[in-house]
Structure 1
Amino acid sequence: MAQMSEPLVLLPDALCDARLYWPQIADLSHDMAVMVAPVHLGDRIEEIASGLLDVLPRRFALAGCGFGGMVAIELQRRAPDRVVRLMLIGSTPLADTPQQADERDRLVIKARAGKFDEAVAGLLPEESFADGPFKTEIMALVRDMAKSFGSDIFVRQARAMQRRRDQQAVMVKLRIPVMIVAGTQDTLYPEKRQSVLAELVPGAVLRMIDGSGHLPMLEEPDALCAAIRDWMRLPASR
């Protein structure tokens, strides 16, 4: 295997922590330095990204899932000399549509009204996961991670997503190795939308993971590890 020099930074989805990436940490840490950074320490995506730049390595490969992918794009925009490659897993550079923003308002109301489980189910609905043998366990882990953050962080991250800017112009200008990854059964970020995203970036690689929904790191962990290794082997500049 070729030497993999830059460390890998993983950003979790909303209401998720390092447990989201346990399989990747266990597998990939044999070959490279791996760290998971939090994406809940701020009220806006710009603030979250600014705080992360104070603690992340000088140069690093960056992969983010969902909300973490949105933060990853902002990190690349702010520090293009530090982010040497980018992976987005079930994410988007687009701003919220009015309909999406309204739905987040409804979920925020539920979270504040003591209906936290319903709010979480609205953010990561059951149909966004594939019908695999471990679906029940994965959904239980997602709920457990969400409870560890609570309603205040739910509201903070929902507001950050509502306020995020459209980053398509950033994606078009990228000249680093980029891989767009998503599960073939992800209803939140369906394949057609991910294909359009990949076409935005010159030379981007689209990797759809069969048998996975929104969280391939848990649903098809070996396939995601293989995708990350392939991405890390891509030439570092074009």
Structure 2
Amino acid sequence: MAEPLVLLPETMCDARLYGPQIADLSREMAVMVAPVHLGDRIEEIASTLLDVLPRRFALAGCGFGGMVAIELQRRAPDRVTRLMLIGSSPLADTPQQADERDRLVIKARAGKFAEAVEALLPEESLAETPYRDEIMALVRDMAEGFGPDVFVRQARALQRRRDQQAVVRKLRIPVMIVAGTQDTLYPEKRQSVLAELIPGAVLRMIAGTGHLPMLEDPDALSAAIRAWMRLPIPR
């Protein structure tokens, strides 16, 4: 059996983000979704997770979850057997991005939580498909389940995150970079640059999807995960 697969969700999302993959892949491997909101900094979140994750595991994260995944690999390289980053980045916030998060935090605290969530993950970041409204409704429901306090905590963690480019350059495990061709938050060009930073990384763009390919084209993401799980681990 393949090593356990740990999935880390995007900010303000829970295990439902990976519902199709859990149903599909759990026939072949152990699958778990770990929370990424239990801490004020990415380093704290990663440290908390290491206490509960398997001894060795494959790790995939979307967006914010991908940033936590990089930190997990940095802290425990002997435990993370392979890494998948889905629409994510190793970069720190720019001053402009940090300022925008401040504005969203003010909105969330001022009773405009729905507006803040919409700005964080706008509808335009998803591909224009018949399922977009349904997916956005799920995103809003997941966010409402967490509430403004978690929104603020994750926004602060994003603002404080360190640049991890040096970390990903040193990776010597199977890495796959996955993104939707219509993702406006993490465009294809930026994903290509990320793949070039990592020795041996495989870039897999999923056509006709935006920032959440796990819901926009579940079969395509499951196929990408299977291909990544088959990549040989260097000895």
Quickly name the TM-score band, shorter chain normalised. Answer: over 0.9
Instruction: After the TM superposition, list the runs of 4 or more consecutive aligned residues in structure 1 that deviate by more than 4 angstroms.
Output: none
How much is the aligned-residue C-alpha RMSD, in angstroms? 0.6
Task: Find the counterpart in structure 1 of residue 166 from structure 2.
Answer: 169
In the alignment, does 2:150 pair up with 1:153? Answer: yes
Deviation, structure 1 residue 133: 1.2
Does 1:18 find its partner at 2:15?
A: yes
Q: What pairs up with 1:187-226 in 2 under 5 angstroms? A: 187-226=184-223
Tell me, yes or no, if structure 1 residue 92 matches structure 2 residue 89: yes
1:178-225 CA-partner distances (Å, limit 9, x unpaired): 000000000000000000000000000000000100000000100000
Report 1:131-150 matches (<5 A).
131-150=128-147
Matched position secondary structure for 1:145: helix
Q: Residue in 1 aligned with 2:80?
A: 83
Equivalent in 62, 67, 76 of residue 65 of structure 1: 62
Displacement after TM superposition at 1:236 (Å): 1.3
2:224 alignment counterpart: 227
Give the total of aligned pairs.
235
Matched, 1:47 2:48: no
Q: Percent identity?
A: 86
- Letter of the 2:178 counterpart: V
1:5 deviates by 2.3
Whole-Å separation in 2 of the counterparts to 1:105 and 1:72: 24
Match of 2:111 in 1: 114
Q: Partners in 2 of 1:22 and 1:232 — Cα distance? A: 19
1:126 is displaced (CA, Å) by 1.1
Report the Cα offset of residue 50 of structure 1. 0.1
Distance 1:63 1:227 in 2: 11
Q: Distance in 2 between matches of 1:222 and 1:25?
A: 12
Unaligned 5+ segments in structure 2 are none
Give the residue type in structure 1 aligned to 2:202. Answer: V
1:184 to 166, 181, 196: 181
* Structure 1: 5+ residue stretches without partners: none
Question: What is the TM-score when the length of structure 1 is the normalising length?
Answer: 0.98
Distance 2:78 2:129 in 1: 40
